[in-house]
Amino acid sequence: MAQIIRSGAFLQQCWSVHPLCVTVKRMAEDRTLVLTCSSCKSVHHLSLGMVIPKDSAAQGTTGAAIENVEDPGKALLSACITTHQASITLREMDVFQDLVLLRCADCRRHYELTVSSFETHQK
């Protein structure tokens, strides 16, 4: 049975020790972002609050806006994960403020995520 740890500190430690091994796996229907670590074999579940997409300053606003959607930030992030999952990286995180920053290299967009809870599943 897998051990479940409910703290963002485990994701932060995992990412600080081997940042290139932490990848975005998928976005679940219940506003949960799933990250995996190929080094320690951990699966990190982040329950998302707000998702704020930010275009690159060099890119300007190119308008990949999603209209008539209840949560456009989550919709943009989900679309980004679906189309170019391998290009999304974890760039920053602050467990004291429950913030995570993701960056997509393909669309050059940053996603500022407010996390309501962290879970790490270890085997």
Instruction: Specify the pLDDT at position 65.
Output: 52
Rounded alpha-carbon distances, angstroms, from residue 110 to 88, 92, 122: 9, 11, 28
The domain ranges of the chain are 3-122
State the pTM of this model: 0.86
Q: Which two tokens stand for residue 41?
A: 């074999």
Which of helix, strand or coil describes residue 35? Answer: strand
Q: Which two tokens stand for residue 96?
A: 């004291």
In order along its 123 residues, the chain shows pLDDT tens digits of 578 999 999 999 999 999 999 999 999 988 999 999 999 999 999 999 999 999 876 555 444 555 556 788 999 999 999 999 999 999 999 999 999 999 999 999 999 999 999 999 987
